[in-house]
Structure 1
Amino acid sequence: MAVPKLRENPSFDHMRIGEYGKRHTTCQFRGNVMSRLAVKVVAGAAALVVMGCGGALAFIYSGIYDVTATTPHDPLVGWAMHETYERSTDRAVAGLQAPENLETPEAVQAGARFYKDNCVVCHGAPGIAASPAAQGLNPEAPLLLKATRKNNPAKMFWVIKTGVRMTGMPAFGKSTPDETLWQVAAFLHKSRGISNADFAALSAR
């Protein structure tokens, strides 16, 4: 028995083509919209960067920011500098290990003598004020022997060795061996809150 041949339906084919065309047009439209949006976002971000750089350059070259050491830092600037210092030094000493038996009496005494000869001028000591020149530092040099300080040995060693930019703190590592700098770190950690008499005796030669 012969199978009847199905009649082709041209209108159905045209309908399918029409639906495909609509979907294709819709997708193309959405793609164009997204592309234009992406271009606008990138252009806006670039404009903000250019404006920010231009504003920063205008601020720098205007000379309106007060760089004198007699004027305290703006609170925001002071906070930013302090937090940058803390995070930078914390990261630098993350894997740094202090030598074993760091705080021997001999090491602490050697550190006290070095401190008296090289550090008291800016940081002072019990019974000894910082020098007049150090009193003009901005930011002020901290009093390193206060009882409330932590004076982490690794951090103290690193700061003494490498110095701190824009503070007046020099890098003693350029002229002093690590062994001596560890002795200073040992002294600073061991002798927090030391009395005037004890410091005088410990640092005497």
Structure 2
Amino acid sequence: MKRAIWCWIICGALLLSVLFGCQRKSDTDLDQFHAPDSLMVEAWMLLNKGVEYYNLGYYLLAIENYRLALAKYGDFPEAHYNMGLAYRKMNQIDSAIVAYGKALALNGNYAQALNNLAYIYLQYRPDLTQALPLAQRAVMLRPLNPDFLDTYAKILFGLGEVDSAIVVLEKAVYLSEDPGEMKELLDVYKSVKQ
């Protein structure tokens, strides 16, 4: 019992010394110390507002909110990524490529951005040699994501690697909650192989 009381006294003393003690910074120093956190919170709020606009189909308003988020907090890959989504919806593919590229420059392991950029190079700006390493990296980071596997399989098929495409797409079908289109595509791939 005495040991528990002493433990509480010591913990309380440590807590008080942290809260009130040692070196007290001026209010200005504290404001500067907390500024990045408050800017990040504001940036996330703007990002979320942009996502709301995006979900409603107001892509220009979404992009404007993503830009405001970037103005608040520049190193914000999520804002660039979401901007890429909106640009792609508006069929502004070159702008989407730039936005995804900026997201990846800030976070090279951003799997969604890797996959979406690979998909653009597959579907909109056909360049399978650029698409392949992006899709491979996305799958390496998220090996159980059926959408990433689907993109990767399509690229492999486009490069003539039919057997590999079938193996990857079979995994995507197995992992997908709604594999309807993937199953149809898998049947096409298998018929090409025969």
TM-score (norm 2): 0.30
Bigger relative contact order (CA 8 A; separation at least 6): 1
Q: Which has a greater percent of helix? A: 2
